[in-house]
């Protein structure tokens, strides 16, 4: 009977198969033909895996494309995590594609501070403000024989004292709103009904037409501090303790006026538009210091309003 000897050691076997197994396991050397066959199988398996992965990648790309198509708002280019969030957003979409865009001339600025500076020089902004003044929005006269802080409005209201920016997160700012008539508020809401940010910005500017409401000053947007008025003193306070609170109070003031003037506004607005505006400002009335669990788009929108509030304060600071 034939014997099969290992060429690598003294191993001998009467079976060829045993010798092949010995070489493969002991010396880790495959039979050349077997090695070729195994390599061919491996190549085939690899090619199949590549083909399967390409199909998965194509499916994933299609899913991503579908998700982008579903989750992106055509009005403002905002992206949402799912179709349900997009559906909730559409009724209150502001149709503003970029917060850095001047809503008077639509110039795109590079930052909030540059936008604020631009608005001060924007010709269309000046025209819009002149129209507002001529329509009786503000007609303040200063009595030269009185203190420079005494401001007499066209409503015959004299404001002598700047309101306080109170201590404590939950203590409300007591704004003076007597100069904001039903007609002014209705006009503001109706003209900006599809742009919640504009309602917020224009209401804030209207509120500050009563100089006693200017209880915050901001002279440098690069600084993290603002000046707040408290008990006839101006004190330095960190921005993150000032502007979220200011924004919350402004939003709550808008919501309060929306509720009090609901019947009045519904004469000029469709009910679903009124509901959308009310819903937006109700959502923005969340605690800006405790946003855990709130939906991402609500938090992002609140941050935008905080930046707008800061920009307005910077604009009006003398």
Among 147, 166, 247, 237, which residue's Cα sits nearest to residue 203? 247
Q: What is the per-residue pLDDT for 174?
A: 93
In this prediction, residue 318 carries a pLDDT of 76
140 vs 227: which has the higher pLDDT: 227
* Cα angle, residue 8 at apex, residues 4 and 13 outer, rounded to 5°: 20
Confidence of residue 1 (pLDDT cuts 50, 70, 90): low
Q: Going by DSSP bridges, is the β-strand pair 12-13/4-5 parallel, antiparallel, or unpaired?
A: antiparallel
Select, from the ranges 44-48, 154-158, 210-214, 258-262, the one with the highest average predicted confidence (pLDDT): 210-214
pLDDT single digits (tens) 182-200: 889 989 999 998 899 999 9
Give the confidence band of 129 by pLDDT, cuts at 50, 70, 90. Answer: low
Q: Which two tokens stand for residue 184?
A: 């002014």
* Domain chopping of the chain, boundaries: 1-30, 103-316
**How many Å apart are CA 212 and CA 210, to the nearest integer?**
5
pLDDT of 146 > 50? The answer is no
Mean pLDDT estimate for the chain: 78
Contact 199, 284 (CB under 8 A): no
Among 93, 123, 95, which Cα is nearest to 107's? 123
Provide the pLDDT confidence category of residue 310 given band limits of 50, 70 and 90. Answer: very high
Residue 274 has pLDDT above 60, yes or no: yes
Q: What is the pLDDT of residues 29-79, one digit of tens each?
A: 655 666 666 677 778 888 888 888 888 887 776 665 554 445 677 777 666
Q: What percent of the chain has pLDDT over 90?
A: 24
User: What is the per-residue DSSP string for 35-80?
Assistant: HHHHHHHHHHHHHHHHHHHHHHHHHHHHHHHHHHHHHB-TTT--B-
pLDDT on residue 96: 63
pLDDT reported for residue 34: 62
Distances 199 to 6, 204, 250 between C-alpha atoms, Å: 91, 8, 11
| CB-based contacts of 176, cutoff 8 Å, min separation 6 | 157, 159, 163, 210, 212, 213
The pLDDT assigned to 209 comes to 92
Cα 176 to Cα 256: distance, rounded to the nearest angstrom: 13
pLDDT tens per residue across span 72-120: 777 776 666 667 777 777 777 766 666 677 777 877 777 766 777 788 8
Average pLDDT over residues 198-226: 93
Contact between 99 and 119 under an 8 Å Cβ cutoff? The reply is: no
Give the residue among 170, 173, 176, 133 at the shortest CA–CA distance from 151: 176
282 has a pLDDT exceeding 70: yes
For a pLDDT cut of 70, what percent of the chain falls above it? 76
Q: Please tell me the predicted confidence (pLDDT) of residue 204.
A: 94
CATH topology of domain 1-30: Double Stranded RNA Binding Domain (3.30.160)
Tokens of 288: 């800006």
For 192-224, give one letter per residue: b (16+ CB within 10 A) or e. Answer: bbbbbbbbbbbbbbbbbbbbbbbbbebeebeee
Q: In this structure, are residues 167 and 231 in contact, taking their beta carbons and an 8 Å threshold?
A: no
DSSP 180: -
Cβ atoms of 174 and 163 within 8 Å: the answer is yes
């Amino acid at each position: 009977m034939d014997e099969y000897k290992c060429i690598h050691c003294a191993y001998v076997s009467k079976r060829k198969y045993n010798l092949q197994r010995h070489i493969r396991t002991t010396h880790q050397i495959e039979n050349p033909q077997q090695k070729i066959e195994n390599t061919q199988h491996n190549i085939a398996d690899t090619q199949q895996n590549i083909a399967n992965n390409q199909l998965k990648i194509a499916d994933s790309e299609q899913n991503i494309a579908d998700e982008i198509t579903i989750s992106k708002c055509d009005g403002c280019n905002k992206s949402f995590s799912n179709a349900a969030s997009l559906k909730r957003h559409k009724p209150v979409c502001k149709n503003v594609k970029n917060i850095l865009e001047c809503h008077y001339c639509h110039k795109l600025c590079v930052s909030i501070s540059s936008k604020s500076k631009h608005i001060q020089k924007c010709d269309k902004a000046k025209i819009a403000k002149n129209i507002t003044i001529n329509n009786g929005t503000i007609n303040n006269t200063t009595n030269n024989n009185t203190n420079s802080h005494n401001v007499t409005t066209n409503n015959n209201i004299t404001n002598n004292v700047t309101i306080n920016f109170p201590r404590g997160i939950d203590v409300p700012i007591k704004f003076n709103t007597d100069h904001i008539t039903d007609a002014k508020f209705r006009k503001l809401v109706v003209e900006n009904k599809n742009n919640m940010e504009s309602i917020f910005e224009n209401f804030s500017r209207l509120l500050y037409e009563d100089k006693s409401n200017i209880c915050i000053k901001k002279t440098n947007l690069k600084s993290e501090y603002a000046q707040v008025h408290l008990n006839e003193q101006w004190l330095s306070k960190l921005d993150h303790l000032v502007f979220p609170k200011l924004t919350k109070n402004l939003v709550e003031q808008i919501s309060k006026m929306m509720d009090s003037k609901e019947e009045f506004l519904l004469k000029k607005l469709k009910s679903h538009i009124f509901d959308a505006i009310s819903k937006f400002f109700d959502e923005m009335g969340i605690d800006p210091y405790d946003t855990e669990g709130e939906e991402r788009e609500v938090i992002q929108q609140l941050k935008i309003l905080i930046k707008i509030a800061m920009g307005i304060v910077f604009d009006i600071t003398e």
